[in-house]
Amino acid sequence: MDSRIKALLSEQQITLKYDELDCGGLYVDKLNWIIVDNRLNEHEQEKVILHELGHAAKQKGLSNLYNATTALHTKMEAEANRFMIREELENYRSEYDEAELSPVKFLESFGLPLAFEPYVSKVLSELL
């Protein structure tokens, strides 16, 4: 696992667990745990961990709102996705020259939908 992910887990005092799940992963707010599907490859596990860290960092104590309405659920998932993308972009940026950075290449290399391209472009411009 990447050292930056270990640092984020440590900062948030989150316990990381692995098990067979019907989903990629989940954040258990009351226990401050992230549980990841152990059948995912390492790259997919890191994406899931970062996404769940987004829930922990941005929505701690708000788990009751997660299922309250579809709108809140969607908003909280989008916020966790943005957290994951920003963290992945910071790592991506450190591996390439500025001229080589491409939102589309980033999304393709991380297996993320092209619908995130406007957000990725915005974050890249902030990071540069």
Cα-based torsion angle of the residue sequence 53, 103, 117, 51 in order, rounded to the nearest 10 degrees: -10
| Residue ranges of domains in the chain, CATH in brackets | 3-127 (1.10.10)
Measured CA to CA, the distance from residue 84 to residue 41 in angstroms comes to 17
What is the reported pTM? Answer: 0.89
Task: Give me the residue label for tokens 């998932």.
Answer: 77
CB atoms within 10 A of CB 121: 14
Q: What is the pLDDT along the chain (128 residues), one digit of tens a residue?
A: 889 999 999 999 999 999 999 999 999 999 999 999 999 999 999 999 999 999 999 988 778 778 778 889 899 999 999 999 999 998 888 888 888 889 999 999 899 999 999 999 999 999 88
Measured CA to CA, the distance from residue 72 to residue 64 in angstroms comes to 10
